[in-house]
Amino acid sequence: MSYNIETIYNKRIGAKAYYIKHQSGLSIYVMEMDGFTGTSAMFGTKYGSVNTTFKTVNDDDFITVPEGVAHFLEHKLFENEDCDVFKLFAKTGAHDNAYTSFDSTVCYFDCTDNFTQSLEILLDFVQKPYFTQETVDKEQGIIGQEIRMCEDNPYRRVYFNLLSAVYKNHPVKIEIAGTVDSISKIDADLLYRCYNTFYNLNNMVLAVAGNCRVNEVLAVCDKMLKPSRNIDLECISPDEPEEVASKMITQKMSVGIPLFAFGFKASPSNGRQRLKDEYISSFLLSLVFGQTSRFYQENSASGLINSSLESETLDGDGYFVNILTGESRDPERLKELVIREIQKVLNTGIDEAEFEMLKRSRYGSIIKSFNSVSGCCSRLLETHIGGCGPFDSVDVLASLTALDINEGIKKLLDPNRMAVSIIYP
């Protein structure tokens, strides 16, 4: 069978990947990595915990399903009617696993031998769901126990309390596994409906990297994939106000020192703009609050913070928030100092020499990441789900300037859109 194989090449780093839109509807990316013995494959769908409201050409209107269905489905996919998926992979020597995030669900394997056999197993079991009410009831108990354990974890609680303070309506504030109440509403019929909606191959992507050849991957796909009709899937997020839902949420748990999470709500973006906002956020958080910053050195020396201080950017469809987490003996005092530091940087701008040094370091890290088979595979899949090309991040980073960082402060670290979560002893 003949395919239009698109070559995607990046001159900056000399990296190349292939893209194919398969006749089944599936998007396929392959990166042939000469000299590597291992191969990674990831089969994912653009279906995560936030995708609770959706419609297709078969629906008269949008429907909303309980939180936690995407994660529930991930668990159930490995239980086929006629085989044990883990045993099948064990026979090929591949290491397999899966995960559900806010925006995607991915099944994957890594191997050094028997690549085509392992790829056949991956494509086969993901396309053969098997649910009964009996197995669903059993899984509800298992996942319910998992949810209760998370509720007892103060580090997860301070984090999701923060998301509840930042977001009034968006489902990102709910644990990926859902709640005990929401998963109690899941039955076999609902799982099949969501599976048939989101595991349509037109909504999915296969990424392969390492010791492989594109024609080898396509031969397996031709053999294993079942043609899918495009059902025009559309997902929407609830209307979300610009301001945070709550300025502060506090809770008492069994901790030795108060835990804090500070969140700065920002407007969500898409595609390359989202990549740019992610990089700007990352630079700001490192330059202003990172371990080499004046803020960190001064407040660490005073004992107000310790080495637990971390930062991250959480973003996806309809949400974008920059987060600081850690331990502090006086988190409310720390909050005031964080706001003051942001105002200082807003007035003076970042140190351009520090920015250039950090930019070179980040660029080196990106180049190094292309020496990892699993890293390349993950990049192929995640950039597609995020609406970008495999190498867009390289070009976006290379084009960033100190002016971009300074202009991003007000938009991405706005104290007027700040929420606070604290767990006190």
Cα 365 from chain centroid (whole Å):
19
Say which of 74, 240, 341, 382 is annotated catalytic.
74
d(CA 289, CA 285): 5
d(CA 104, CA 52): 12
d(CA 304, CA 373): 41
- Residue pair 200/226 in contact by the 8 Å Cβ criterion: no
How many Å from the N-terminal Cα to the C-terminal Cα in the chain? Answer: 65
As beta bridge partners, residue 326 has 260
What's the angle, vertex CA 357, arms to CA 412 and CA 397, rounded to 5? 55
- Residue pair 231/259 in contact by the 8 Å Cβ criterion: no
**Residue for token digits 């080898």?**
216
DSSP code per residue over 72-120:
HHHHHHTB-SS-BHHHHHHHHT-EEEEEE-SS-EEEEEEESS-HHHHHH
Nearest to 169 by CA among 83, 250, 265: 265
Phi, psi of 245 (to 5 degrees): -70, -35
Contacts of 402 (CB under 8 A, 6+ apart): 349, 350, 352, 355, 356
- Note if 74 is an active site residue: yes
d(CA 142, CA 88): 23
Note every long-range contact of 156-160, with CB atoms under 8 Å and residues 24 or more positions apart, other chains counting. Answer: 157/251, 157/253, 157/423, 158/251, 158/259, 158/260, 158/261, 158/325, 158/421, 158/422, 158/423, 159/261, 159/323, 159/325, 159/421
DSSP-based three-state secondary structure for 397: helix
Active-site residue set:
74
